[in-house]
Structure 1
Amino acid sequence: FLDQYVVGQHQAKKVLSVAVYNHYKRLNNNVPSDVTQHTGVYGDSYSSTSKGKTLLAQTLAKCLDVPFAICDCTCLTQAGYVGEDIESVIAKLLQNANFNVARAEQGIVFLDEMDKIGAVPGIHQLRDVGGEGVQQYLGFGATSSLGTGRRAISAAGLANSSGENTHEEAQEKDKLLCSVEPRDLIEYGMIPEFVGRFPVVLALHSLDEDMLVRILTEPQNSIITQYKMLFDMDKCNFSITDAALRAIASKAIERKAGARGLKSIMEHLLLEPMYEIPNSGIIALHVDKDVVDASRLHCCVNGITMVASHRELPNARDNRKLSSQDHGWMKIIDTNK
């Protein structure tokens, strides 16, 4: 199931699948609470931004059909201080379960940006309400009306990737992340009680150009599939070449935006077509590498294929012949000849 929505990250999918399967196996077989106490799934994943950490957790929840709640750790503080406390996260999970306590007890809580609650060096004499204080509350097992030991908890942290400039450097960082141990997390600023809650620790690999191209096309809800569906609604056939896909992936790597950068690039690239095509008579839109590099779009209007500047598309309601000086058009090709 994960392979249908998440590209790559095979080892991470394997580790998470086993951990979640064992967790819900205990729940479904009604293993006594004294045996399962504090044995809920506590998984910790870390990588650079936009590598699929959140998507993995969301897809697992979708597969299991259980409530899912995302907690942004940057907002967490101890109870009584400005910000969110852990109880508000449980309340969000309960809300996503339509206030069904039994379903909420089997839900998944995802702690995002976990590195933001690392203990701040040099303030041990002061109360660290957003760092070590939150870790202590989590590490000693925050209790709530839902009880403990039944919810699956996953956390994700960010490994700084500002120095990744080449494919070789990214591979070297992947090797280092795979060898991370609990003591490394403690040195980073996590307290032992909190780290001990996460026996399953895994790293997500960097995304290269090939992986980003697969992300664009392979998942059931891939970005390209979504855009094809949108253009189909306007009775316009959307197509894109492999070279264009690679150019888009290359741009995402240059921006160091990961998989999230793909959507941003596509939105910018197709802004004008999505604005002009509805009710325009344009029946086809073709994107190649030149489109990505030089912002030139290929459109088909009433049997005539045109190559237009990215800034302006043709309108079929104006049937006059366009020259190279009109509306930014570069050339006109009659496909009927």
Structure 2
Amino acid sequence: MEKFANLTPKEIVAYLDEYIIGQNEAKKVVAIALRNRYRRLKLPKEIQDEIMPKNILMMGSTGVGKTEIARRMAKIMGLPFIKVEASKYTEVGFVGRDVESMVRDLVIASINLVKEEYRLKNAEDIEKYVLDKIVQKLIPPLPKGASEQKIEEYEKTASKMKMRVEKGEMDSLKIEIETPKRSLEIDDSNMPAEFIKVQETIAKVFVTSKENPRKEVTIKEAKEILKIEASEALLDMESIKQEGLKRAESSGIIFIDEIDKVAVSSKSQGRQDPSKEGVQRDLLPIVEGSVVNTKYGSIKTDHILFIAAGAFSLSKPSDLIAELQGRFPLRVELDSLDEEALYKILTQTKNSILRQYEALLGVEEVTLKFDEEAIRALAYYSQKANEKTEDIGARRLHTVVEQVLEDISFKAEKYQGEVVSITKELVKEKLEEIVANVDMARYIL
């Protein structure tokens, strides 16, 4: 991920353009926010502490690209990143996940990110460890006091065996190895800080009280099991945890989707859900900056970047509590998708849904060919379905394309070795009646 750390805002937008059509303002705001993460870390420590992240609120109907922008952000950053849904959290005192658990999830994601970087840096050592362990199982060690000739012969045999194992020639052969101890994993996302260490102590008792179980596995399976053992043996896990905690604190990003689901609309009648406003009030200190205890240590949230997103179809941003609104100073509204935008999503995005289906059916030796007019028709009927039923944006393309290709996909063996053309007439035949009938469209599409 290091190669992405120094991307300029223009380069970030160019990357996002490969996957997301339009939404230039949202891409620009996000790109600047990402670049500012890099800029801040290059400054002296005393200035770093003063520069707070400018949190972002993205507004727009479902399927216009809010979540996709977040998903692609995770792909291009060497920064700790998680996506959560606000609707999954409850006020403290209610049954469910409390909002502090999102910070704990970020720490875990950050540690996993650092661990993977360390694994890549130490890939050669890990590979050597695995090969040596397997060869030791395949060739009995020499007795003490063996002659130099025997030692030389042993080393030649071991070298040849190592090459065969490395090439995969021995993958089907079975050997007996010790499998790693399984730690007692308990979800501590809602556990009070004072109980986290108690839980870890109990888990250690369970783990250390048992010997490593021995198991007969193929060499192919052994390679994967021994990689885990090698990582534990060769990597400094304590340093990895501390680095992960540090990165989460200084450059972590939390994307909170469905923030509108915890807004309390002023238009709604009757009794309000007391948990909604409670979630906002619990979220406020985390976004403002507070200390959250995790099993890896405490973390300050002052410099975590929060990006919230919501459709705001039944509420509006002003329905959030005023203090929380103030913590999201940057606001961007995403455009609804028209027919032309849907057409571009089908034709111009990298790994578009059409390319995905071409690849999937290619496995069955079926060659799909989409006529230009057919693609235009897919965009047209998707837009009509969005107008007549709920507007779900680009997600409608998935149901529409699936409806057109369903029979071909089901009977793929019938078309093996053939080129199957998707024409405008076929699209019309499959979709026109459904889209015309609102009730049917609501049920099928």
Q: Does 1:20 align with 2:34?
A: yes
Q: Give 1:71 deviation, angstroms.
A: 1.6
Instruction: Say whether the 8 Å CA contact 1:41–1:154 is kept in structure 2.
Output: no
Is contact 2:364–2:416 with CA below 8 Å preserved after alignment? Answer: no
Q: Which residue of 1 aligns with 2:264?
A: 119
Per-residue displacement from partner, 1:141-164 (whole Å, max 9, x unpaired)? 353232122222101111329xxx
Q: 1:285 to 1:42 in 2, by over 3 A?
A: same
The answer to whether the aligner puts 1:143 opposite 2:291 as a matched pair is yes
Equivalent residue for 1:206? Answer: 336
Given the alignment of the two structures, is residue 102 of structure 1 paired with residue 246 of structure 2, yes or no? yes
TM-score in terms of structure 2 length? 0.56
Question: In 2, Cα distance between the equivalents of 1:129 and 1:23?
Answer: 36
Instruction: Kindly indicate whether residue 401 of structure 2 is the aligned counterpart of residue 266 of structure 1.
Output: yes
Instruction: State the distance in 2 between where 1:284 and 1:9 align.
Output: 36
Which structure is higher in strand share? Answer: 1
The answer as to 2:183 corresponding to 1:35 is no
Q: CA deviation at 1:120?
A: 5.3
Larger radius of gyration: 2
SS at match of 2:94: coil
Aligned partner of 1:71 in structure 2 is 84
- Say whether 1:152 aligns with 2:297: no
Q: For 2:321, give the aligned amino acid.
A: I
User: Which has the larger share of helix?
Assistant: 2
* Residue equivalent to 1:277: 412
Q: Give structure 1 stretches of 5+ with no counterpart.
A: 162-183, 297-337
Hey, what's the Cα distance between the residues in 2 that align with 1:26 and 1:13? 20
Deviation at 1:65, TM superposition (A): 2.9
Instruction: State the distance in 2 between where 1:127 and 1:275 align.
Output: 47
Q: Deviations over 1:240-275 (max 9, x none)?
A: 122211221122222222101101111222122122
Report the residue type matching 1:222 in the other structure: S
SS in 2 for 1:81: coil
Q: Which has the higher contact order (CA 8 A, sep 6+)?
A: 2
1:289/1:87 Cα in 2 relative to 1: closer, same or farther (>3 Å)? same
Counterparts in 2 of 1:18 and 1:79: CA distance versus 1, 3 Å: same
The percentage of counterpart residues that share the same residue type is 33
Q: Rate the CA distance shift 1:279–1:291 in 2: closer, same or farther, 3 A.
A: closer
Q: Secondary structure at the match of 1:146?
A: strand
1:222 aligns to what?
A: 352
Aligned counterpart for 2:429 among listed residues 294, 298, 308: 294
Give yes or no for the alignment of 1:61 onto 2:36: no
Q: Are 1:120 and 1:131, in contact at CA under 8 Å, matched by a contact in 2?
A: no
Deviation of 1:200 after TM superposition, in Å, equals: 0.6
Q: Normalized against structure 1, the TM-score is what?
A: 0.72
Count matched residues: 268
Moved more, 192-201 or 276-285: 276-285
Matches within 5 A, 1:211-250: 211-250=341-380
Partners of 2:349 and 2:420 in 1: how far apart? 22
Question: Quick one: distance in 2 between partners of 1:129 and 1:148?
Answer: 26
**Residues 13-37 of structure 1: CA deviation (Å, up to 9, x unaligned):** 112211221133113435435413x
Deviation at 1:137, TM superposition (A): 2.3
Quick one: which amino acid aligns to residue 101 of structure 1?
A: L
Structure 2 residue runs without a partner (length 5+): 1-14, 113-240, 293-297, 387-391, 432-445
SS at structure 2 position matched to 1:238: strand
Aligned partner (choices 317, 337, 349) of residue 185 of structure 1: 317
Q: How has the CA–CA distance of structure 1 residues 228 and 122 changed in structure 2, closer, same or farther, with 3 Å as cutoff? A: closer
**Structure 1 CA distance for aligned equivalents of residues 361 and 267 of structure 2:** 56
Q: Secondary structure at the match of 2:50?
A: helix
C-alpha distance in 2 between matches for 1:137 and 1:40: 19
Large movers: runs of 4+ above 4 Å: 120-123, 126-129
Shift of 1:2: 1.0
Q: Distance in 1 between matches of 2:64 and 2:248?
A: 28
**C-alpha deviation, 1:280, in angstroms:** 5.1
Q: Does 1:10 align with 2:10?
A: no
